[in-house]
Amino acid sequence: MLDGGVLRISAGAVVINWRRLRDLVAPAECAAVMKADAYGLGAERLAPELYAAGCRSFFVALPAEGIALRQALPDDSVVHVLNGLMPGTAAEYATANLVPVLNSLTQLREWHGLAQSSARRLPAVIQIDSGMSRMGLSPEEMRSLPPIEELSIHLDLRLVMSHLACGDEPDNPANGEQRHCFMEAAKAFPGLQRSIANSAGCFLGPEFHFDLCRPGAALYGLTISPASVPLACAVTLDARITQIRQIEANTSVGYGYTFRATGPMRLATLGIGYADGWPRSASGKGATWFDGTRLPILGRVSMDSTVIDISELPRDGLFPAI
């Protein structure tokens, strides 16, 4: 009663989505990408639920996220660090039992060096750049890669992976081109498991699933590509109405008077704003919903309040009216 709104996160919905994706991509393994605190939904709370459902492979972006996630998960799970090995930190990855996604020859040498000097066989994933120019070994680096038999003496190479740039556009020829480039480059690692699919890749069909899929967004109910399985909504945000008012034509709304009414309207002021993470970029174009009715945001989103148009709702359609 004392707050402006309530954000609800459903761990159950995340587990439902993981199971649907697991069934979709089987026999490939379905991992869970939990970077950025599980897309803001709380990695340490969600990971054990996914583990209980059978998920064993987890991906984060940064080693600090990995260390926190490791503590939330049993030992027979694997936590991979997508951003690779930060220079000079190999010992910390090894101590924390993190698997780096090696993105360059420098990272490969550093991880290999630690394994050699500590007489251990360290687990590793190799990423190949198949077109996105973001992370992974370039075609040039691939040509100067030491033979895999030599690397495998000290490294337990688990997986070779790449990442799709345009997976959310199913008809984009870049998807097939990246897949082809990945398969060619992965020939340098015969017998190694392969992975290229993020959420959008899971929906591109079995030829993109390989041995392991890495959905993030879809687990949390988000898709920007046509999803081939229904996804459960994992997040809802309810806002409290702090005022309702009637305005006449030519009345302005909010900072900068960026909205001006052309006729009579009913407005509601909500008790949440950009301080709550409601994006200021939704000013004048975002919307809220009440019982399936779209209620547009009028004018600028303020720090702790937002004005919406409720003219579409029956007069007694909202309660408690103030």
Marked catalytic residue, from 51, 255, 274, 285:
255
Beta bridge partners of 255: none
**CB nearest ligand PLP: which residue?**
216
Binding of ligand PLP by 223 (CB under 6 A): no
> Nearest approach, Cβ of 163 to ligand PLP (angstroms)?
4
Nearest to ligand PLP of 125, 239 (CB atom): 125
Nearest to ligand PLP of 77, 199 (CB atom): 199
Site for ligand PLP in 267-286 (CB under 6 A): none
Cα separation, 30 vs 20, whole angstroms:
10
Cα separation, 174 vs 172, whole angstroms:
5
Binding of ligand PLP by 216 (CB under 6 A): yes
Q: Which residue among 63, 66, 123, 215 contacts ligand PLP (CB under 6 A)?
A: 215
> Nearest approach, Cβ of 191 to ligand PLP (angstroms)?
22
> Nearest approach, Cβ of 93 to ligand PLP (angstroms)?
17
Other Cβ atoms closer than 10 A to 292 = 5
Tell me whether residue 93 is one of the annotated catalytic residues: no
Q: Which residue among 33, 55, 73, 204 contacts ligand PLP (CB under 6 A)?
A: 33
Binding of ligand PLP by 214 (CB under 6 A): yes
> Nearest approach, Cβ of 216 to ligand PLP (angstroms)?
3
Q: Could you tell me which stretch among 1-9, 44-52, 105-113, 210-218 binds ligand PLP (CB under 6 A)?
A: 210-218
> Nearest approach, Cβ of 59 to ligand PLP (angstroms)?
6
Site for ligand PLP in 157-196 (CB under 6 A): 163
Q: What is the residue type of 180?
A: H
Tell me whether residue 274 is one of the annotated catalytic residues: no
Q: Which residues are catalytic?
A: 35, 255
Residues in contact with ligand PLP by CB under 6 A are: 33, 35, 82, 163, 198-200, 214-218
